[in-house]
Copies of this chain bind each other. A is one copy, B any other.
Amino acid sequence: MRTGVWLIGARGSVAVTSMLGASAVRAGMAEPIGCVLESPELHSDALPAIGELVFGGHDISSVPLVKKAAALGEAGIVPARLAVAVQDVLLEIEQDVRPLPDHGTQAEVADAIGADLDRFRRRHDLDHVVVINVSTTEPAPPPHPAHADLDALHAALDGPEPVLPPSALAAYAALRAGCPYVDFTPSTGARLPALDALARAQGLPYAGHDGKTGETLVKSVLAPMFRMRNMKVRAWSGTNLLGGGDGANLAEPAANAAKSASKQRVLRETLGYTPQGETRIDFVEDLDDFKTAWDLISFEGFLGTRMRMEFTWHGCDSALAAPLVLDLARLTAAAHRAGRTGPLTELAFFFKDPLGEVPHALSEQWQVLRAAVEALG
């Protein structure tokens, strides 16, 4: 099954680590560590192999992929020797990474995006193209009546004013071009009633939101632990220090707010109440892609005795995200082929802020994922 992966933000850290890593795995130069679908329990012949993925994408930056890969190597995010070894493959992918269309009305931009997707599909003779958003996190957009109605949306996009934030416009364009859409960021993406309607009308699935790679991942196993033991979490405070392009952007209050909100949801959903405390994201340029999160949990046990737990997570964000991007591409392509439409709620395992009324405990999400993979055959 030849599967295209079209990355919005194709020149960013997550995107380039994904491309580089898939190439290294295909070439037998690296193990697919962190790729969830490579666990024996999740094997399925219905899934395209990592080696079958073909990459392309849009970006507003023009830094060459090879240069970005070298920078990732120097920063220790990927092994420097791999960045060198896959240069040729990156040069090929470079042919399919195009500047984000930006001329005319939003309807015209969407058409141009769709045309790029068609060209990519034809050029590589692909069975499916999955569009995945790994671009910079946007602030939440102002509400607009056309968000709720597909016809109104079609009409409004023809007007001179922007109606959709970039992520939603990409989703619109993807769905219209017959491509499933996955949002790895907390941005709006396909999460609008009008776009849900479009997906269903087109018979396409979509997924999101916000890849779960660090602090929230840990929360999604620790919060259930407290619940299973019937202990009372009184306060849970988190601090995330991160550099890199993502960190710089999240230092903007609006993007920060979007992200912090998705990070606390797991507590409320798992515990059934919201403990005191907040989640902070601070930009510390020097840390680059190596994020440090520190959480303090204050809890109450038998007879009210107060206890505490704290954890520190020193993770490399792109190395954590990239294998999940590959997983999501493969799962979404297979779901598309299997005829699934609308939100892929069975992929909650991958997201901080999953679509639908789904379990937030990681182990329950895993059971759901496993059942979904089995159902693929």
Contacts and interface: CB of A to CB of B under 8 A. Distances in A.
A282 B278 contact: yes
A221 B230 contact: no
A82 B301 CA distance: 15
A244 interface: no
A24 interface: yes
Interface in A312-334: 312-316, 319-320, 322-323
A323 B301 CA distance: 9
B282 A30 contact: no
A225 interface: yes
Contacts of A313: 309
A34 B362 CA distance: 22
Interface string A22-33: 001000001111
A230 B33 contact: yes
Given A77-B305, A311-B311, A286 B34 contact: no
Contacts of A322: 302
How many copies, total?
4
A308 interface: yes
Given A34-B301, A305-B77, A286 B276 contact: yes
Contacts of A366: 228
Nearest to A310: B312
Greatest chain B CB density within 10 A among A76, A221, A312 is at A221
* Secondary structure class of chain A's binding surface, majority of residues: mixed
A91 interface: no
Interface stretch (A96-104, A201-209, A235-243): A235-243
Contacts of A79: 303-304
A349 B311 CA distance: 23
Interface in A240-284: 241, 276-278, 280, 282, 284
A303 to B, nearest CB: 5
Contacts of A2: none
Interface of A: 17, 20-21, 24, 30-36, 38-39, 76-80, 82, 217-218, 220-222, 224-225, 227-232, 234-235, 237, 239, 241, 276-278, 280, 282, 284-287, 292, 294, 296, 298, 300-305, 307-316, 319-320, 322-323, 349, 361-364, 366
5 contacts: A31-B304, A33-B231, A34-B230, A241-B277, A302-B322
